[in-house]
Amino acid sequence: MTIHELAIVWTARCAVLCMLFRFVLSLRREGGIPARPECVVWTAGCLLFLLHVWAAFQFRHGWSHSDAYRHTAEQTAALTGWHWGGGLYLNYLFTVLWVLDVAADWRAYCIQQVRHQWFPTGLRWFLAFMMVNATLVFGHSGWWVVALLLVLLLLMLRRRRIPEPGST
């Protein structure tokens, strides 16, 4: 594997690990205001993901959207038999939403304002879906365990935040 391939792969893997760590930190928190370590880890993960996107376009696709689309379609077809590169557009959405969520977390932390949980929860499910999907389509099968762990952590977060019936 070349240094460029390693940069593409490991920036993605480290971004996934930051996402997992963020969800673990969220399990320990009470209330809707993110703690500073959560914001730092979430920001680091986002920056690593942005670096991954840069590395993939710089080293693999030559800054060609059509090449990235074709590559995505080929990888998707290899796993599912469906030759579709539209996941690339979801990846663009993923990138924008993660950056916006980082900004929203820092804002909530700085002004000590509780975030409404429906948006971060829905967004994090989308981000986790995209990470799991990318892991299945592009990742090594050994990382499928990490994808499963990500989903389990989200389920634990969801279960923790739903009040029991009859509780006040």
Using the Cα atoms of residue 137, residue 143, residue 147 and residue 148 in order, give the sign of their dihedral. positive
pTM for the complete prediction?
A: 0.82
Range of the domain at 39: 3-161
143 within 8 A of 155, measured Cβ to Cβ: no
| Ranges of H-type helices in 56-141 | 65-80, 87-111, 118-138
Task: Establish if 166 belongs to a structural domain.
Answer: no
Task: Establish if 167 belongs to a structural domain.
Answer: no
Convert the pLDDT of each residue in 104-126 to its tens digit.
999 999 999 887 766 777 887 88
Task: Establish if 110 belongs to a structural domain.
Answer: yes
Task: Establish if 76 belongs to a structural domain.
Answer: yes
Which of the four pLDDT bands, split at 50, 70 and 90, describes residue 158? low
Give the mean model confidence (pLDDT) for residues 150-166. 62
Convert the pLDDT of each residue in 58-99 to its tens digit.
999 999 999 999 999 999 898 889 999 999 999 999 999 999
pLDDT score of 161:
53
Domain count, the chain: 1
Task: Establish if 168 belongs to a structural domain.
Answer: no
